[in-house]
Amino acid sequence: MKTYIVGNWKLNFNVGEASVYLHKLQKKIANYRDIEVVVAPTALCLQSLSLQLDRSKIKLGAQNAFYQDFGAFTGEISFAELNGLVKYCIVGHSERRYIFHEDDKMVAKKVAAAIRHKITPILCIGETESERAFGETADVIRDQLLGGLSEIGAEDVSKVIVAYEPVWAISSTKDAKIATPDEIAEVTEMIRKNLKEVYGAKTSEEVPVLFGGSVKPTNAGAYLTTPGINGLLIGGASLILEQFTDIIDIAKRVK
Ligand code: 13P
């Protein structure tokens, strides 16, 4: 399986900044066939970046889209529009769930719409700090995972990438709020166990599982060698070219 290094730029970089960053990144990296480097800029940047993209090195991802193809949905963009523009789309990021109130039903429809339009959904799941404190992690993971997959057929599950992003470990500045490889391995095991129970052993092994939450060059090696982890979903560090390329180098080394 490939290693996925995905930069989620969130609401950062305007079209000009994104374009400058992309050019620099493309200069710095080669075509690493076993590493899938993905950047997910804001929706406004996708069109222009797609025209400048060296697809042998980098793939484009969207951060979100709506599940209806067209209609009276002011402010939304659809997976139908993204078709041909991006290879991936992040779905159900915790910032969408908690700031924009997306629930598992909405997330499931988005996963299905992505698959329908031949875009690989990166389904984000993860518990909050209080859910972890109350011992609810396993239930949250199960609900968000199986809930998110509930609108697609079993044959399409292996087309999904799952990203485990514990909400408490995102944009963390304190060491205590950085997930340890052991904590991640435990949840990765839960993810594969759930997939295995519902969709069978083969599918559970085929679904890539990424980790996200304050990934930096200093911890990327440990995360990438955590059992069951096939890549990283990176926020803050993906905005800093040196850090992002350092993480890609680490991925190459540990491969
Ligand atoms: P940070 O790497 O900034 O913690 O963000 C993680 C994230 O939410 C990626 O989707």
pLDDT for position 61: 98
The C-alpha atoms of residue 43 and residue 85 are separated, in whole angstroms, by 11
* Residues facing residue 6 across a β-bridge: 38, 233
Assess whether the C-beta atom of 235 lies below 6 angstroms from ligand 1. Answer: yes
Assess whether the C-beta atom of 126 lies below 6 angstroms from ligand 1. Answer: no
Catalytic residue check, 101: no
Catalytic residue check, 165: yes
pLDDT for position 33: 87
Reply yes or no on whether the pLDDT at 60 is more than 90: yes
Assess whether the C-beta atom of 203 lies below 6 angstroms from ligand 1. Answer: no
Mutate to test the pocket of ligand 1, among 165, 174, 178, 216 (most ligand atoms within 8 A of CB): 165
Exposure string for 132-155, b = 16+ CB within 10 A, e = fewer: beeeebeebbbebbbbbbebbeee
Q: How much is the pTM?
A: 0.97
pLDDT for position 172: 84
CATH T-level assignment (fold) for domain 3-254: TIM Barrel (3.20.20)
- pLDDT tens, residue by residue, 78-112: 999 999 999 999 999 999 999 999 999 999 999 99
Residue 173's pLDDT band, with cuts at 50, 70 and 90, is: confident
Cβ–Cβ under 8 Å, residues 149 and 108: yes
Q: What percent of the chain has pLDDT over 70?
A: 99
Q: What is the mean pLDDT of the chain?
A: 97
Assess whether the C-beta atom of 148 lies below 6 angstroms from ligand 1. Answer: no
Residue 69's pLDDT band, with cuts at 50, 70 and 90, is: very high
Assess whether the C-beta atom of 219 lies below 6 angstroms from ligand 1. Answer: no
The C-alpha atoms of residue 255 and residue 250 are separated, in whole angstroms, by 8
pLDDT for position 174: 73
Q: Where are the domains of the chain?
A: 3-254
Of ligand 1's listed atoms, the one at least distance from the Cα of 214 is 4
| Residue 200 exposure: Cα atoms within 13 Å on the Cβ side | 7
Reply yes or no on whether the pLDDT at 176 is more than 80: no
Secondary structure tally for the chain: helices H, strands E: 11, 8
- pLDDT tens, residue by residue, 196-243: 999 999 999 999 999 999 999 999 999 999 999 999 999 999 999 999
Reply yes or no on whether the pLDDT at 41 is more than 90: yes
Of ligand 1's listed atoms, the one at least distance from the Cα of 163 is 10
Reply yes or no on whether the pLDDT at 175 is more than 90: no
* Residues facing residue 58 across a β-bridge: 37
Assess whether the C-beta atom of 231 lies below 6 angstroms from ligand 1. Answer: no
DSSP character for 92? S
| Mean pLDDT (whole number) for 137-159 | 98
Residue 255's pLDDT band, with cuts at 50, 70 and 90, is: confident
| C-alpha triplet 36, 149, 110: angle, nearest 5° | 75
* Distances, alpha carbon 137 to alpha carbons 132, 183, 255, in Å: 5, 11, 29
Mutate to test the pocket of ligand 1, among 214, 223, 240, 243 (most ligand atoms within 8 A of CB): 214
Catalytic residue among 93, 95, 102, 127: 93
Nearest CA to ligand 1 atom 7: 235
